[in-house]
Chains A and B, each alone.
Chain A
Amino acid sequence: EIVMTQSPATLSVSPGERATLSCRASQSVSSNLAWYQQKPGQAPRLLIYGASTRATGIPARFSGTGSGTEFTLTISSLQSEDFAVYYCQQYNNWPRTFGQGTKVEIK
């Protein structure tokens, strides 16, 4: 199965700053990658699919780039509601797999 590795495990960022999260696949997943946000006690929320397409209702400050094995989620200016855990997920191969998550915390 494809192993998804996210870095860093924890990212400390001040409100208003840019956050850059990385996701690496153990083999190429083309552009078949999604990003999710999860807050404590809540279900995940889809942010990005197709590596760079924002899901319905997702603010423009969230952007995704990459293809193949290297992907990035950028939050251009962190708002208070953006502090959460972020997961990448590939859907190029079975089984679908998630990264272990990056926690974005307030600096």
Chain B
Amino acid sequence: QVQLVQSGAEVKKPGASVKVSCKASGYTFTNYGITWVRQAPGQGLEWMGWISTYKGNTNYAQKFQGRVTMTTDTSTTTAYMELRGLRSDDTAVYYCARDLGSSSSIAFDIWGQGTMVTVSS
């Protein structure tokens, strides 16, 4: 079946980096983009950025520019999101989602299970 499986929970210290993986299966990976969304505890959804799995081009939210890098490995159908310079307010569940758009970000129809990232000294 179509699914996205994310890597496990992480605990990081302020200033560190985290890299979350998202393994896709059950569909042609390069036919859809991947979007990353995060959700702080008790808060709403925050769009972080999108990557084309076909061309590798990205679009990041201004808030994360310079701190985030999204990549994909088509040989393993895996997407990655690296966030650097972690702060306590980066504590959140990070989701990857299959994006209906392959050349631009549209809507997100399949979601990973989420990866909890805790930033604490």
Contact = CB atoms under 8 A, between A and B. Distances in A.
A59 B49 CA distance: 29
A43 B112 contact: yes
Contacts, number: 63
A91 B45 contact: no
A98 B44 contact: yes
Contacts of B45: 36, 38, 44, 87, 89, 98, 101
Interface residues of A, number: 23
Interface in A15-50: 32, 34, 36, 38, 43-46, 49
B24 to A, nearest CB: 14
Contacts of B107: 34, 46, 49, 55, 89, 91
Interface of B: 35, 37, 44-47, 49-50, 59-62, 95, 97, 100-101, 104-109, 111-114
